[in-house]
Amino acid sequence: MSETSNSTLQNPISKYPQPPFNKQPQQVPGLALKMDPQPDHGEKTYKGAGRLAGRKALITGGDSGIGRAAAIAYAREGADVAINYLPEEQADADEVIALIEAEGRKGYGIPGDITHEAFCQELIAQAVEKLGGLDILVNNAGHQQAVDSLLDLSSEGFDATIKTNIYAPFWITKAALPHLPAGSVIIATSSVQAYDPSENLFDYAQTKAANVAFVKSLAKQLGPKGIRVNGVAPGPVWTPLQVSGGQPQDKIEEFGKTTPLGRPGQPAELASIYVQLADPNASYSTGQIYGAAGGSGHP
């Protein structure tokens, strides 16, 4: 019987930076390249094994955070990848496209605002044209702004959260469905907030619960068509979403400390989940929510 050498083991507690962190306010939507410490998206660590060879993926919010980690992993597993992002995030997006192309895969950036239905339709049209088809759709982009009191939550702010986190996946998925053959997958990024909402993320938590229902309902609808639908519910992960208003700056200093692992997750630690859900070998997994919350959360 073979034995695992202790030299190959890593303590998950000390694997990545632990709080306290410096306060680092950014304007929405924020850039990963300005964060301290820099998030790990798997740029130097993710090793592919051809699990998604020949696949064609579109990832919203693919410039940074979890979407970026998924894009890097997909390319290293053999997929061509298109990413969507806001024009203000071009600097981060350029890095991702370069990483995809470094793997010998096709990488495309499609900037635009997914809170507009017409752009969501154009996004799918461009992705299908550039990739030559589509069989992996990752609805990952999200909007999160911490507001202490419901009385301070404006209709404009509420609307931005709902449109980004609920309307956009609806519009994008609806436009994509006619192009998705049997064997395709749809993956949604939900959150631990869907199960254990924070008092200052009233609107965001509701949308993340809606994402869970999106997955479970659509999986039943599309199962007979051979299309799988799953989701991921992360806990606190070190991304620009958090430092650009997703958390108050005093909470950024201790971000992730209350988890059993005592630190926030890094995007790279979730990449393998997105690969697993897209992998044809996971063909019986649909309607599921996969958790990654450092010991907290419910899925």
* pLDDT by 10-residue block (mean), the chain, 299 residues: 58 96 95 94 96 98 98 98 97 97 98 98 98 98 97 97 98 98 98 96 98 98 98 96 93 95 97 98 98 88
Number of compact structural domains in the chain: 1
Nearest to 163 by CA among 216, 118, 228, 111: 118
What whole-number distance in Å separates Cα of residue 68 and Cα of residue 109? 12
Packing angle, helices 202-222 and 168-176, rounded to 10: 20
Strand partners, 153: none
The yes-or-no answer on residue 204 being catalytic is: yes
56 occurs within a structural domain: yes
What domain range includes position 262? 50-292
DSSP state of 22: -
The pLDDT of residue 34: 95
Buried-exposed string 120-148: b where 16+ CB fall within 10 A, e elsewhere: beebbebbbebbeebbbbbbbbbbbbbbe
What whole-number distance in Å separates Cα of residue 236 and Cα of residue 18? 12
Tokens representing residue 199 in the block: 């008092």
44 occurs within a structural domain: no
155 occurs within a structural domain: yes
What element of type H or E holds 105? none
Whether omega for the bond prior to residue 29 falls within 30 degrees of 0, making it cis, is yes
CATH classification of the domain holding 267: 3.40.50.720
SS3 72: helix
83 occurs within a structural domain: yes
197 occurs within a structural domain: yes
88 occurs within a structural domain: yes
SS3 40: coil
The pLDDT of residue 4: 41
Tokens representing residue 2 in the block: 């073979």
Q: Which member of 16, 85, 204, 274 is catalytic?
A: 204
Provide CB contacts within 8 A for 175, sequence distance 6+. Answer: 120, 121, 123, 124, 125
Q: Is the full-model pTM beyond 0.85? A: yes
Q: Which residue has the tokens 């199960």?
A: 195
What whole-number distance in Å separates Cα of residue 111 and Cα of residue 221? 30
Question: What is the chain's alpha carbon radius of gyration, rounded to the nearest angstrom?
Answer: 18
Contact present, 180 and 154 (Cβ < 8 Å)? no
In one-letter notation, the amino acid at residue 108 is: Y
10 occurs within a structural domain: no
275 occurs within a structural domain: yes
